[in-house]
Amino acid sequence: MTALLTTLVVAELVVLVLLSFLVLGLLRSHALILKSLHDLGAGLELDRQVEQERAGEGGPGPVPVELERGVVTPGRTGDATAPQIIGADLGGAERSVDLGGRTLLAFLTTGCSVCAGFWSEFRSAVDVPGGGQLLVVTKGDDEESPSALAKAAAPGLDIVRSGPAWGDYDIPGSPYFVYVDDGRVIGEGSATTWAQVSDLMAQALGDDEHRAAVADGYVDRGDRDDPTSVDAELLAAGIGPDHPSLRPPPRPGAAAPDHEHG
């Protein structure tokens, strides 16, 4: 009897240990999933809601969580002025960037799993649509590890560390890309590969050039080509159907017409 009880107790202990390992594994898996979702931009509205509640701008309530297959969606509509970027380079020296030409801003972090592919891609030169320059914008030392950034960044990669720039450009998450042309934001968005980003920005640039061409080539002629309006203007000026100016004399040496049109 004693041996049976001992066996049952040992079996229960084994089951409890196995269940404990199972629960710990589930918790760890859940934590990794949440971290991956946050890296992809999901749950950012939760952070904004908490900040609003702390500032007294809003009360508690349900917060929607949106997830786009590995990317984040833009919150800007139409063209917008590209703010100046003020921050520091990798060495810590102050840096100010005025965006007067064509520049593709790549907002990346070292803790984002999707960003890792772009850090690797940027170890080699990439062709920015429209012949633009690539500028990687990271957060400052208070939010980004300088040592991790030094490992991720390829030598010669143009980088500016500026936490305020993320707010100035209203960046919803990382990775995120903004195409600037002569100080105007003409395209933005996110993707999981450089090929997708390149296609996205090439389309935005093409759309912007098309709009500019249409605007330059369009002339609002109003009623100037309306025959009724033209006749009314001629009559108001005293020029009727029989006015001499409508039948000028033939030029010297020109053959006379066989007949006149009535």
For the chain (262 residues), the mean pLDDT of every run of 10, in chain order, is 73 77 71 59 48 49 38 54 92 89 94 93 94 95 90 93 94 93 90 93 88 69 54 66 70 56 47
pTM over 0.85: no
Burial of 218 (0-12, 13-18, 19+ CB in 10 A): exposed
What is the CATH topology of the domain spanning 80-217? Glutaredoxin (3.40.30)
Burial class (CB in 10 A: 0-12, 13-18, 19+), 140: middle
- pLDDT confidence of residue 252: 66
Parse the chain into domains and list their residue ranges: 2-39, 80-217
The DSSP H or E segment spanning 177 is strand 176-181
Using DSSP bridges, classify how beta strands 133-138 and 159-161 pair: parallel, antiparallel or unpaired: parallel
Task: Read off the pLDDT of residues 75-95 as tens digits, 9 standing for 90 and up.
Answer: 555 557 899 999 999 888 999
In tens, the pLDDT along 28-71 reads 766 666 665 555 555 444 444 444 555 554 444 443 333 333 44
pLDDT given at position 72: 44
